[in-house]
Structure 1
Amino acid sequence: MRQLILTALLAVSTVSLADSLKEANTLLDKGDWQAATAMGTALNTSDGFAVAAKATTLGASVSAEAAKRGLLEKAQGYANQAVKLNDENASAYFELARADGRLAQFVGILQSLPLARDIKAALQKAISLDPKMDEGYAALGLWNAELVAKGGFVAFSYGADASQVTANFEKAVAIAPTTIAHRLEYANSLLKLDSTKNKAAALAQLKKAVTLAPVTYWDRQDLAAAQKKLNDLQ
């Protein structure tokens, strides 16, 4: 009887955790990243901290400039805790790479380069754990574009390759063809490599992006950015 009671309590606890995680993701989808962060950290699980990291990173993108760095550093901390609690959690590694990557874009080239290898390693680990992680491939495509755009020596030193930009983004859009962010970042990455040579290909991705239906608050942000970029290029 005692064993049956313990099993039942564990089942209830598991359902409660799953429901809370789902609620945190729902809040994030609506744009309430602060509440999603609070709920994610309160769960004190790897998945919870991964959601908190994602929410805080996305929150930084819509926050005042002065607050961005602090938020991204918090996101790094949440992602590291997610990895610590479960080193087989693909989302934890991806969110660590995402937080590092956004911080690298924010702090400038001299401070961002030391993060480059960590970002790539985290993305490769995430993809190895979940080979169908479309976000991982998109981020790896962007990573290669960022490093190649910084110059030949930098690209060589960190193992970045222009051919891997298209290769990884094509994998991402094949897995998730209706994700607006992938099309937007694909276009941005192509333009980083060669804004003249790749303009037509970038336009094609943007034209596809603006036909896609946004599902979340963040999708709507990406759709607006894609439309603006398309208008600027045409």
Structure 2
Amino acid sequence: MTSNMIKDLLKIPEKYNVVQQFNQSVIFASQRTKEYIGFKDPESKLTINNSMLTDIFLMTYIDRSMQCKLTESISCTKMTEEQTILLGTNWVWAVQDMPSKNPKVQIAVQVIHMESKEAVVMEKRFQLTESMKLARQASMNKTHPEKISDFCSSIGKDCYGLFLFFGLKGDPKSICGVLSNDFHMHLGYGQDVDNTFLLDRIEKAKTFVTPGRMLELILQKEGVPENLKPICVKFTQ
């Protein structure tokens, strides 16, 4: 870790603000993950697979948010392997309603890795537990975007799906996201919610918001029955 990154990690704003702290924590995790995307070991002894990249992002965010005492306001729940297979969700952010700590709004995150690592995928197929095999069989007729769309719609309007792309065509180390609470509406109209659909939103986006602005938009929609049309979020600088 560079000295500048250590300084950024240790720097905590004097005035506590949930949106600012969330934005800072997510951007720090994104920049940390960016360092490992596309990593090439000159000796070919170390391979950073997709699962490791996801864990690097998540654990960096959790460490930073704990340091900022953000966990008192926003929880982060990592899904088990079985839950990820069934629900298409890697983790869930929940903004808590104090003092009850009931979730006001939730963001279900699905990580999409643009670089295919077939060797790693094939290797993992032989490491599946029995429960993971059962989860895969139970959800084999649905794509991952369909799973997360169903998951969010089952919770309600205050649950948002965030598709987080690690890498994009022409910009392999970028991290961008597409967020909405109406993906299920597209499925209801017979539209495919897949990588092509999501990447099209990113490529046609005229503006990108920060993770902090994303959270502000969600909180502004709290309790409002309207759907939030897909918005694009830039996580790396």
**TM-score over 0.5 for the alignment?**
no
TM-score between the two structures when normalised by the length of structure 2: 0.35
**Higher relative CO (CA 8 A, sep ≥ 6), structure 1 or 2?**
2
Higher strand share: 2
Larger Rg: 1
